A and B are shown apart, each in its own frame.
Chain A
Amino acid sequence: MITYIKILIDSPEFLAQLIINGLLVGAIFALIAYGLALIWGVMDIINFAQGEMVIFGGYITYTLFYQFGIHPILTIPIVAVLLFVFGLFIYKTVIYRLLGEKDIFITILATFGLAILMQQLMQAIFGPDVVTANPELGMQFLFDGALIISNIQLVSFIIAVFVAIVLFVVMKYSRLGQTIRATAQNPRAARILGINIDRVYANTFAINAALCGIGGSLVVMIWTIHPFIGLVYTFRSFFIVILAGLGNFMGIIFTGMGISAFENVTGFIIGAEFQAAVIFCLLVIILITRSIRARKKRQYIH
């Protein structure tokens, strides 16, 4: 462990490598986490099938790439549209039944069941193999090759940022965004003012699915996927949302990026097996401090 710390101090290029890598790919996780926060905030539903939707998006990119020869990056809009429709379908079949459900376990059970169903279906359709869609974009060598950044990570970062900006603008200025925000603030008042909140919910869930799909396309281009790896992405997005807080758009983006960089550095220093453990310890500490802070503030709980 000391040796590894010494390496980072002696050769800062490795530290830079770990951090830059983390920041770039962290944007993808931020995107997925934002989707989770959106439906959590608007519909009060925690979606445990989030990761499976990510993997599903990845498989669509993979299939379009190998079966139809479409460049993986060009599949992203297709994946977004397909997942949007898929999101509507899932909303109409499963999610709308969970609206207004007081017992949080019903929601968790239902979406967890959906996750298992999706895992098995993906395995039946795409097979159990580990797949990747390598876009072969090459690399950037910085500082005489001391720092290497693969172009796909750079591109995916740009795409993630672009999607985030579009999302921000849509939420802020478009009619759809306004109705979503109004519904989140007060569904009853929104309904009285003539907003079709059922449609708002459906659209919100579909937007989340599309975000997951885009995330999945980027994931399959950078790493590998298989039908059973979804839970990693569910937990990670869950974690980011808890850490950043609901409705904190910028917070989610920065937490997503920061966590990945932090994770890379801790993994380097104390080994890959404790990487996740450190992150979850951090979560526990933050939750405890938050609850201590909250205790000082008295308020009415409904």
Chain B
Amino acid sequence: MFKKILSTAITTLVLSGLMISPAAMADTIKLGAAVSLSGKYSTAGNHTKKGYDLGVKYVNSMGGVLVDGKTYNLEIIYYDDESTPARGASLAERLILRDGVSFMLGPYSSGLTKAIAPVTEAHGVPMVEANGASRSLFNQGYRYMFAVLSTSEQYLQEAVNQIAIKAGKPASEITVALAIENDPFSQDIRAGVLDDVNRHGMTVVIDDKLPRDLSDMTSTLVKVKALKPDLLVVSGHSKGAALSVRQMKDLGVSVNMLAMTHCESAKLHDKEKFGNLADYALCAAQWSPSVSSEGTVFGTAGNYSAIFNKEYGYVPPYQAAESTAAVIVMADAITRANSLDKDAVRDTLAATDLSTFYGQIKFSEAGNNIAKPMILRQLIDGKYYVVAPANVAEAELVYPRP
């Protein structure tokens, strides 16, 4: 009896679905996204999803996407990739083959993007990604992948330029210490820093590669204490950022300039948890609510931040902002292509030159955004101030670190 009711219900549902769907599908363009909603990237994955959702909401509210005289709304089909690359790849396959999406938005992290890109590439599905910065994504010859963010080797180059200006001595006398995790993404950052260090002719006195399962930095930090470098660069995801500021204090290590990545995800600005341990650290960021860039959908960066804050109750981290930017870029490319053909959209994406609240977006041959610089923010008393590059700076860099 129960089974019969159930099967009738299912049949009805399926039939009604079949009847409604052609009409409903006509007005929506489905975008596919596998995002980490659980697993170790879940925090950042949720920022990504919120960024996408807000982008879709605003693009739709402003009239959606106009293709061939017809208006379409955007809609995203999400799957949770559980922060595992293999899962991400199979979900991308599922999105394309079963759900029939023609356009994809990227996952969170370089690792997941690396897993998904070959799939979208094989099916010729254009993907705009916002959270895979590793340099190794852009030397594979991918034609259908476009990234709105700056690549990883740019993350801390600005810090090297800043120490060259601020140190008050010839570059050849400036010493730099590197404590960078031994994973592809962080090593890209190291390569970028080393490029600039060599260009200026500075000396690297410490070059430690931190293990992935970093639990103690005593040996590296005592070395820093002994050699007193002018600039200490730390990059080891959030655990590296949190551990280094915590242990520097306990070991009595101080440097004139401390440059880091992942300050935001480690929540170094949270005074309840870290007090003032991380004060005056320089933090690399893709974007900040205070940068002076604007676009048509959200207006200025500050405006976007206010809208996001109203919607979700917190200031958007750059992971959310770049995700929203990816949606805007995708909508813009489809509009300009004036077609839902995958290759046509791929070509307009490649020709993108767009101003957004997130910054200028223009892709290189390899698909990375070459128009937006990385910014450097200084953490002072729980707040981040943009201090470099000069044209977007809102405050003077405090040097040396008190």
Interface contact A128-B179, CB-CB below 8 Å: no
- The answer to whether B239 touches A130, judged by C-beta atoms less than 8 angstroms apart, is yes
Contacts of A267 in B (CB 8 A): 218-220
Given the interface contacts A152-B250, A223-B243, A268-B219, does A134 sit within 8 Å of B275 by beta carbon?
Answer: yes
Residues 200 to 246 of chain A near chain B (Cβ within 8 Å): 222-224, 226-229, 231-233
A131 at the interface (CB under 8 A from B): yes
- Chain B: interface residue count, which band? 35 or more
Please provide the chain A residues from 111 to 156 with a CB less than 8 Å away from any CB of chain B in the complex: 123-124, 127-132, 134, 136, 139, 141, 145, 148, 150, 152-153
Q: Does A103 belong to the interface (CB within 8 Å)? A: no
A264 touching B246, Cβ below 8 Å: no
Asked if B42 lies at the interface with its beta carbon under 8 angstroms from chain A, I say yes
The main secondary structure of chain A at its interface with chain B is helix
Q: Please, what's the 1-or-0 string for B197-240, where 1 marks a CB less than 8 Å from any CB in chain A?
A: 00000000001111101011111101101110000000000110
B250 touches A150 (CB 8 A): yes
Among B215, B246, B277, which residue has its beta carbon within 8 angstroms of that of A229? B215
* A223 B219 Cβ-Cβ under 8 A: no
B218 touches A128 (CB 8 A): no
Which of A132, A139, A228, A273 is the one whose CB lies under 8 Å from B211?
A: A273
Q: How far is the CB of A289 from chain B (nearest CB, A)?
A: 26
Contacts of A127 in B (CB 8 A): 43
Shortest beta-carbon distance from B25 to chain A in Å: 36
B272 is an interface residue with CB less than 8 A from chain A: yes
Is A25 in contact with chain B by the CB < 8 A criterion?
yes
**Known pairs A139-B250, A148-B252, A264-B219; A129 contacts B267 (CB<8 A):** yes
Cα A123 to Cα B211 with chains together (Å): 21
Q: Are A21 and B182 in contact (CB-based, < 8 A)? A: no
In the complex, what's the smallest C-beta–C-beta distance from B298 to chain A, in angstroms?
A: 28
Is B351 at the interface (CB under 8 A from chain A)?
no
Q: Which residues of B contact A273 (CB under 8 A)?
A: 182, 208-211
Q: Does B273 have its Cβ within 8 Å of any Cβ on chain A?
A: yes
With A4-B223, A14-B226, A276-B211 known as contacts, the answer to whether A128 contacts B42 (CB < 8 A) is yes
Contact of A123 among B40, B242, B247 (CB under 8 A): B40
Give per-residue flags for A33-51: 1 if the beta carbon is below 8 A from chain B beta carbons, else 0. Answer: 0000000000000000000
Report if A7 contacts B (CB, 8 A): yes
Nearest CB in chain A to that of B42: its residue = A128
Q: A128 to B209, Cβ gap below 8 A? A: no
| Total of A-B residue pairs, C-beta within 8 Å | 117
Give Cα A224–Cα B215 distance, bound, in whole angstroms: 7
Are A66's CB and B242's CB within 8 A?
no
| Chain A interface bracket (under 10, 10 to 19, 20 to 34, 35 or more) | 35 or more
A118 to chain B, nearest CB (A): 14
Say if the beta carbon of A170 comes within 8 Å of chain B. no
For A272, the closest partner residue in chain B by CB is B208
Measured in the bound complex, the distance between the Cα atoms of B43 and A226 in whole Å is 13
Q: Tell whether, in the assembled complex, residue B239 and residue A224 are in contact, meaning their CB atoms are under 8 Å apart.
A: yes
A226 vs B134: C-alpha distance when bound (angstroms):
24
Q: Which residues of A contact B250 (CB under 8 A)?
A: 139, 148, 150, 152-153, 222
Name the interface residues of B251-278: CB closer than 8 Å to any CB of A: 251-252, 265-267, 272-275, 277
Q: Which residues of A contact B179 (CB under 8 A)?
A: 272
CA distance A148 to B267 in the complex (A): 27
A302 to B108, CA, bound (A): 54
CA distance A123 to B43 in the complex (A): 11
Nearest B residue to A119 via CB reads B40
Bound Cα distance from A4 to B207, whole angstroms: 12
CB distance from A149 to the nearest CB of B (A): 9
Q: In the complex, what residues of B have CB within 8 A of residue A52's CB?
A: none
With a CB–CB cut-off of 8 A, which chain B residues contact A22? 218
Q: Is the CB of B246 within 8 A of A223?
A: yes
A63 adjacent to chain B (CB < 8 Å): no
Binary CB contact string for chain B from 361 to 375 against chain A (1 if under 8 A, 0 otherwise): 000000000000000
Does A160 touch B at the CB level, under 8 Å? no
Contact (A231, B252) CB under 8 Å given A127-B43, A128-B42: no
Given contacts A224-B242, A272-B210, contact A264 B273 (CB under 8 A): no
**A7 & B227 in contact (Cβ 8 Å cutoff):** yes
Report the bound CA distance from A130 to B44 in whole Å.
Answer: 13
CB pair B211–A272 under 8 Å, yes or no, is yes
Residue of A nearest to B223 (CB): A268
- Shortest CB distance A5–B (Å): 12
Residues of A within 8 A of B246 (CB): 132, 134, 223-224
A232-B213, A271-B207 are contacts. A128–B40 as well, Cβ < 8 Å? yes
Find out whether the CB atom of B209 lies under 8 angstroms from the CB atom of A130: no
Q: Are A130 and B266 in contact (CB under 8 A)?
A: yes
Q: For the complex, give the distance between the alpha carbons of A134 and B268 in Å.
A: 13
Check B208–A128 contact: CB distance below 8 A. Answer: no
- Residue in A148, A266, A271 whose beta carbon sits within 8 Å of that of B251 in the complex: A148
Tell me whether B211 and A275 are in contact (CB under 8 A): yes
* Complex alpha-carbon distance, A233 and B274, angstroms: 24
Could you list some 11 contacts between A and B, CB below 8 A?
A: A7-B227, A17-B251, A124-B38, A129-B43, A129-B266, A150-B250, A150-B251, A224-B246, A263-B219, A272-B208, A272-B209
Given pairs A129-B43, A139-B252, 4 additional interface contacts (CB within 8 A): A145-B252, A223-B243, A272-B217, A272-B219
Question: Would you list the 8 A-B pairs with minimal beta carbon distance, nearest first?
Answer: A267-B219, A273-B209, A150-B250, A148-B252, A272-B208, A130-B242, A268-B219, A224-B242
Chain A contacts to B: CB under 8 angstroms: 4, 7, 11, 14, 17-18, 21-22, 25, 66, 123-124, 127-132, 134, 136, 139, 141, 145, 148, 150, 152-153, 222-224, 226-229, 231-233, 263-268, 271-273, 275-276
